[in-house]
Amino acid sequence: MRRALVCAAAVPAVLITAACSSDSGDSKAPSGEESTQQSASGTSQPSASASPTVRPAAYRKLPEPCSALTKKTLDDLVPEGSKSGKKGSSDDPSARASCAWNSLDNNGVKGSQFRWLNVSLLRFDSDTARGAGDDQAHTYYSQQVKDAQSVEGAKNARVVPLSGTGSEATTVRYDLKKKEGLFKQQTVVARVENVVVTVDYNGAGLAGEETPDADDMAKDAQKALKEAVAAVSSANGQDGGGTSPSQGSPSASKSPSKSSSKSPSGPASTPATKTAAKAPAKSGSSGASPAKSAVRKS
Identify the domain containing residue 270 by its residue range. Answer: 65-293
CA–CA distance, 138 with 133 (Å, rounded to integer): 9
Contacts for 73 with CB less than 8 Å, ≥ 6 apart: 220, 223, 224, 227
Is residue 235 in some structural domain?
yes
Is residue 20 in some structural domain?
no
Is residue 47 in some structural domain?
no
Four-residue CA torsion sign, 166, 171, 172, 173:
positive
Ramachandran angles phi, psi of 16, nearest 5°: -60, -45
List per-residue pLDDT tens for the chain, 298 residues long. 444 444 444 444 443 444 444 444 444 444 555 544 544 444 445 455 566 799 999 999 999 999 999 999 999 999 999 898 999 999 999 999 999 999 999 988 889 999 999 999 999 999 999 999 999 999 999 999 999 999 999 999 999 999 999 999 999 999 999 988 999 999 999 999 999 999 999 999 999 899 999 999 999 999 999 999 999 999 999 765 544 444 333 333 333 344 444 434 333 334 444 444 444 444 333 333 333 333 333 3
pTM of this prediction? 0.68
Per the structure, how many domains does the chain have?
1
CA–CA distance, 246 with 123 (Å, rounded to integer): 17
Contact 247, 93 (CB under 8 A): no
Is residue 169 in some structural domain?
yes
Is residue 27 in some structural domain?
no
Is residue 19 in some structural domain?
no
Is residue 178 in some structural domain?
yes
Is residue 264 in some structural domain?
yes
